[in-house]
Amino acid sequence: MIPAPFDYLPAESAAHAVELLARHGDDAKLLAGGHSLLPMMKLRLAAPALLIDVGSLAELAGVRADGGELVIGAATCHADLAADELTRADAPLLAHAAAQVGDPQIRHRGTIGGSLAHADPAADLPMALVALGGSVEVLGPGGSRRETADDFFTGFFETSLEPDELLTAVRVPRNPGAGWGYQKFVRRANDWAIVAAAATGGRIALANMGPVPLRAHAAERALAAGANAAQAAALAADGTSPGEDMHADRGYRQHLARVLTRRALVQQD
């Protein structure tokens, strides 16, 4: 499988990348690790005329503390995030989620920003960000803005990013010592989740239960009212309408959501 012809430009800075996006419009796509975009290009599901490489920009990589939050550069690869001591201490659910992505080759090239911008509802990192109550920083021609994870994912493989905007950083609350649970059901190792659940701090997020990573609001309300893990988890699939495919029908995915949520809640205690 060979992609359609395209031009390539390395961005000199985040601002330069935004300038190139504005100049070339819908003909341009951003490239970091490439593990989401390049397979789509090989299948001719995407055919950008220009790739703007932001993967080597130091300003978009690394993890730092900023008050009560961790700030993770969008070009930070999954392997670095999984191994980062600050993330492991202050947001261990996020470090664990990064370690679940694909195989070692993918984790050493794929980036957190690329995963979030790709917005696959079965992916690990979008669900983790929703569970943690995190947010993203976005740079565009009009300057920077910040958006919560709950609002960032808008549809199947869709986000609130405009065509001339660049996701520059991810922010998650620092919460050392907080309990967390993460459960993922797959057919084979390294597969996308058939269903996954993450729980921490009274928030529960589900992967592959709809077009975006979903909050299990009914289960969260039950927990807040004093329900135990089993009682709350019984409500995890309420209001969901997951898709059906060769791996699972709607009823089976809803069953998995309840089982995995219970396990995640038990795990975090």
Q: Which fold has domain 58-173?
A: 3.30.465
Between strands 203-207 and 195-200, the pairing is antiparallel
Instruction: Provide the CATH number for the domain formed by 7-53 in this structure.
Output: 3.30.43.10
Give the distance, in angstroms, between the CA of residue 97 and the centroid of all CA atoms in the same chain: 9
List where CATH 3.30.465.10 sits in the chain. 58-173
List where CATH 3.30.390.50 sits in the chain. 180-268
pLDDT of residue 3: 84
List where CATH 3.30.43.10 sits in the chain. 7-53
pLDDT of residue 191: 84
Nearest to 126 by CA among 22, 210, 25: 210
CATH 3.30.390.50 is the classification of domain 180-268: yes
Nearest to 242 by CA among 182, 196, 190: 196
pLDDT of residue 4: 85
pLDDT per residue as tens, the chain (269 positions): 788 888 999 999 999 999 999 999 888 989 888 778 878 878 888 888 999 999 899 999 999 999 999 999 999 999 999 999 999 999 999 999 999 998 888 899 899 999 999 999 999 999 999 999 999 999 999 999 999 999 999 999 999 999 999 999 999 999 999 999 999 999 888 788 999 999 999 999 999 999 999 999 999 999 999 999 999 999 999 999 999 999 999 999 999 999 999 999 999 97
Nearest to 166 by CA among 133, 141, 129: 141
